[in-house]
Amino acid sequence: MPTDNAPSHAGASAMMRRDRASSGLGMVVIAGEPGSAVVEMTIREDMLNGFDVVHGGFIFALADTAFAIACNESDDVTLAAGAEISFLRPARLGQLLRATAERRTRSGRTGIYDVQVTDNDSAVIAEFRGRSRTTALAIPHRSSPAL
């Protein structure tokens, strides 16, 4: 996955090297630190719904990727236990969307993270809240997508 600034923590770095979904959507990691992340994605024609606005699933995917980077704070695999999103305004073709994730709280194996998605003009497009759970899963050893 192309990045301007790959996540600096091991768990998120390893995860993003294998993330075919985010890469395929053209997401770029701008910043990634334990507990926070910034990810951008430019809206393409194939991301529009029947009303010529961005399909909500793509906005959710962008927010979810920023959440995943923020909550994978160590070498332990951390997954989403749940998430919800509120769509506040439509996004359109050609816009650059930015998802900024921040940890709100973490206790034991559970965490809560908020992600704000904004457009080129810093208008808020969506608000996302994710709940994480650290697991005992092993990190896959495959470093690049299989062709």
CATH number of this structure's domain 10-134: 3.10.129.10
Looking at residue 48, what DSSP letter applies? B
Sequence spans of domains, the chain: 10-134
Distance of CA 34 to the CA centre of its chain: 14
Q: Is the pLDDT of residue 147 over 50?
A: no
Tokens of 80: 């989403």
Report yes or no: 125 and 117 within 8 Å, Cβ to Cβ. Answer: yes
Lowest mean pLDDT across 5-14, 46-55, 80-89, 108-117: 5-14
Residue 67 — very low, low, confident or very high, per pLDDT cuts 50/70/90?
Answer: very high
For the chain, give the mean pLDDT: 86
pLDDT value at 63 more than 80: yes
